[in-house]
Chains A and B, each alone.
Chain A
Amino acid sequence: MRSIEARGLTKEFKVYQSRPGLKGAFRDLLNRQYRTIRAVDAIDLTIEQGEMVAYIGENGAGKSTTIKMLTGILQPTAGELKVNGFDPHREREKFVKTIGVVFGQRSQLWWDIAVQESFRLLKQVYQVPDADYKQRLDRMIEVLDIGGLLDQPVRKLSLGQRMRCELVAALIHQPKLLFLDEPTIGLDVLVKENIRRFLREINREFGTTVLLTTHDISDIEALCSRVVMLDQGKVIYDGGLQELRRNWAKGKKVHFELAREVDMSELEARTAGMPLRWERKGERQVVLHLEQPDLAVSDVLAQIVQHVHIVEMQIEEVSTEEIVRKIYQEGMTLA
């Protein structure tokens, strides 16, 4: 069964505008003006059971709004939506049993009471049998290393400690589909790594589908083979992370340290006709920009090694981060 199937999914918000001044306030009383914002604009999205998908986009692109529709919190303005075979908003109570959700910016644990009390309540809410509950909880406590936190009230936990507890809370009923809205926001490297390992594990073992939004590109590289990119409410890319890199990482950079200063014009002359660009960085440092992915570094080297003495050389792949930045800046039109 498909985890998510959306056709033309759309959400519009009415934003009321207030006119300035007292006079404006009175006019607002009688006749409020509003503007319609299309936060999510007719997106199509199909996600199969067991996939791990990154849902990315700039601030305000519509990621959280999509998640809220997919989890049944918001009613879509238009479009068709089936998640785990349910209409999330209309069949909410039955549907939400099959999903788990973590909002990085919002806690689902009870603030003033011990963490384990929240877990106990969720066990009853989802009617998890005693044996399953104990087994799952023990396992998650071990992997996420939260044994020492269970009797602490949530308000005393640090962000990273809380986030690991949130994950347990979202998974206590072993949902088939897990939504994560910025789960790693503000976490240190070790906690991030811990959480990622855990997510990979549950995906492999139980085939849990994971849809996560993030601004941390390393999350995607560590977890997701598929990326859906959103811009102003529209899907602008939906495909593999590798293809995204291949299409966008036009070539690479090579840093050279040379034995003596060399004229740029000499380098340019020797590699004339090749799709590349030289850039001077220092007296003896130059950077070679290869502008096409199929141009091999060795071809360039063959042209220059006999004439220029190279002390050190370092090849740099374009990072996914840079690719994403470029797409955000320039739009997808070039791809």
Chain B
Amino acid sequence: MLKMYLEVIRIRFLMMLAYRVNYYSGIVIYSINIGVYYFLWMSIYGDKPSLQGLTAVQMATYIAVSWMARAFYFNNLDREIAQEIRDGTVAIQLIRPYHYLIVKAFQGLGEGVFRLLLFSVPGMLVVSLVFPLDLPGLSWDWLKFACSLFLGFIINVEVNLLTGVLAFFILNNEGMIWAKRMIVDLLSGLTIPISFFPGWAQAVLSYLPFQAISYLPSMVLVKGLSGDAFWHALSVQAAWCVLLAIPVQLIWLRARKTLIVQGG
């Protein structure tokens, strides 16, 4: 079983290599985003030393870390699933002795690992030379960040699986997928750290899974969360991983029942 999933990851690696153009355009897009957000936030800070508990340097670090983290957790599984269901290629997946959605999740992991190694790590080195950042040296913080980031990845995958399968029941699924992407980027704290939201919004967001995708892992690194704060963040993430698995499986079973494979 494990070998099979490793093979799935390897194949996705090969496919990413086959689509190198996406990789190059990704570098450009991410560089622009980091640059724009950096200068935007620095102008908001002006000469105030800190806002909402984040110093200007921490803010810069937050921007760099959260975008590089996004390169790892972001994927288009939802669009792929909706597409495969619509054009009937899902039939080929259903004659294989595996769980379609788990295999999709591992494809997402393959994609994530690819971008982490070939994009985020070198990107982070470059960015830390260009902008003044405050990253921990060689310390346990990186391992904590890795754990938190991985859980964030799982949550994002689950959200994507849910959207992808749900899109099958809904006519205008392009719109839905696009809206989901916007919501995740905004509510996960990627564009605006959660601590900058009004109090009531923060309260609401703390009950949603999105902050666990990006905000929590980034804070682990930026603020060097430790002790109780760290374990609290990690357990919130773990809880979401488990909770989201339930609707994913339910809606998949339902889709399998009503699934009509078009064509052929």
**Which residues from chain A sit less than 8 Å from chain B, CB to CB?**
13, 64, 68, 71-75, 92-94, 96-97, 99, 101, 103, 105-108, 110, 112-113, 117, 120-121, 124-127, 153, 181
B99 CB within 8 Å of chain A:
yes
Q: Are B260's CB and A74's CB within 8 A?
A: yes
Contacts of A103 in B (CB 8 A): 91-92, 264
Tell me whether A101 and B8 are in contact in the complex, defined as CB-CB below 8 angstroms, given that A73-B261, A74-B260, A106-B89 are known contacts: no
Contact of A74 among B6, B7, B259, B263 (CB under 8 A): B259
Q: Are B95's CB and A125's CB within 8 A?
A: no
Q: Are B97's CB and A121's CB within 8 A?
A: no
Measured CA separation A96–B91 after assembly (Å)? 12
Closest A residue by C-beta to B17: A113
6 A-B pairs (CB sep. < 8 Å): A74-B259, A97-B97, A101-B95, A103-B264, A113-B15, A124-B6
Measured CA separation A117–B8 after assembly (Å)? 10
Closest A residue by C-beta to B99: A93
B27 CB within 8 Å of chain A:
no
Q: Are B94's CB and A92's CB within 8 A?
A: yes
Tell me whether A72 and B94 are in contact in the complex, defined as CB-CB below 8 angstroms, given that A93-B99, A112-B15 are known contacts: yes
Shortest A162–chain B CB gap in Å is 14
Contact of B91 among A97, A106, A124 (CB under 8 A): A106
Contacts of B263 in A (CB 8 A): 105-106
Shortest B216–chain A CB gap in Å is 34
Q: Are B11's CB and A117's CB within 8 A?
A: yes
Tell me the chain B residues, 43-90 only, with Cβ under 8 Å from chain A: 88-89
Measured CA separation A203–B19 after assembly (Å)? 40
Contacts of B88 in A (CB 8 A): 106
Closest B residue by C-beta to A114: B14
Q: Are A99's CB and B15's CB within 8 A?
A: no
Contacts of A121 in B (CB 8 A): 4, 7-8, 11
Q: Are A72's CB and B264's CB within 8 A?
A: no
Contacts of B98 in A (CB 8 A): 93, 125
B18 CB within 8 Å of chain A:
yes
Measured CA separation A229–B5 after assembly (Å)? 42
Shortest A209–chain B CB gap in Å is 16
Contacts across chains A and B counted by CB atoms under 8 Å? 73
Q: Are A112's CB and B19's CB within 8 A?
A: yes
Tell me whether A96 and B95 are in contact in the complex, defined as CB-CB below 8 angstroms, given that A73-B261, A103-B264, A125-B4 are known contacts: yes
Contacts of B257 in A (CB 8 A): 75
Closest B residue by C-beta to A122: B96
Measured CA separation A92–B256 after assembly (Å)? 11
Measured CA separation A112–B15 after assembly (Å)? 7
Tell me whether A96 and B96 are in contact in the complex, defined as CB-CB below 8 angstroms, given that A64-B264, A113-B11, A117-B14 are known contacts: yes
Number of chain B residues close to chain A: CB under 8 A: 27
Q: Are A125's CB and B97's CB within 8 A?
A: yes
Contacts of A107 in B (CB 8 A): 92
Q: In the complex, which of the residues B3, B257, B264 has the most CB atoms of chain A within 10 Å of its own CB atom?
A: B264
Measured CA separation A126–B95 after assembly (Å)? 11
Q: Determine the main DSSP class of A at the interface with B.
A: mixed
Contacts of A93 in B (CB 8 A): 97-99
Contacts of A99 in B (CB 8 A): 95
Contacts of A101 in B (CB 8 A): 95
Closest B residue by C-beta to A95: B97
Tell me whether A73 and B95 are in contact in the complex, defined as CB-CB below 8 angstroms, given that A13-B260, A113-B15, A124-B3 are known contacts: yes
Contact of B15 among A64, A68, A75, A110 (CB under 8 A): A110
Tell me whether A106 and B94 are in contact in the complex, defined as CB-CB below 8 angstroms, given that A124-B3, A125-B4 are known contacts: no
A-contact 0/1 string along B11-38, CB 8 Å cutoff: 1001100110000000000000000000
9 cross-chain pairs, A with B, having the tightest CB-CB distances, nearest first: A124-B4, A124-B7, A112-B18, A108-B92, A97-B97, A73-B94, A113-B14, A105-B264, A101-B95
Measured CA separation A153–B6 after assembly (Å)? 21
Measured CA separation A103–B91 after assembly (Å)? 10
Contacts of A110 in B (CB 8 A): 11, 15
Contact of A120 among B7, B97, B99 (CB under 8 A): B7
Q: In the complex, which of the residues B6, B7, B92, B95 has the most CB atoms of chain A within 10 Å of its own CB atom?
A: B95
Closest B residue by C-beta to A118: B11
Shortest A147–chain B CB gap in Å is 21
Q: Are A181's CB and B97's CB within 8 A?
A: no
Contacts of A126 in B (CB 8 A): 97
Closest B residue by C-beta to A113: B14
Closest B residue by C-beta to A153: B18
Measured CA separation A105–B261 after assembly (Å)? 13
Contacts of A13 in B (CB 8 A): 260
Shortest B24–chain A CB gap in Å is 17
Task: List 14 other contacts, CB 8 Å, given A73-B259, A75-B256, A113-B18.
Answer: A13-B260, A73-B94, A74-B260, A74-B261, A93-B98, A96-B95, A97-B97, A99-B95, A103-B264, A106-B91, A106-B263, A110-B11, A117-B11, A124-B7
Tell me the chain B residues, 189-231 only, with Cβ under 8 Å from chain A: none
Measured CA separation A106–B264 after assembly (Å)? 8
Contacts of B18 in A (CB 8 A): 112-113, 153
Contacts of A94 in B (CB 8 A): 97
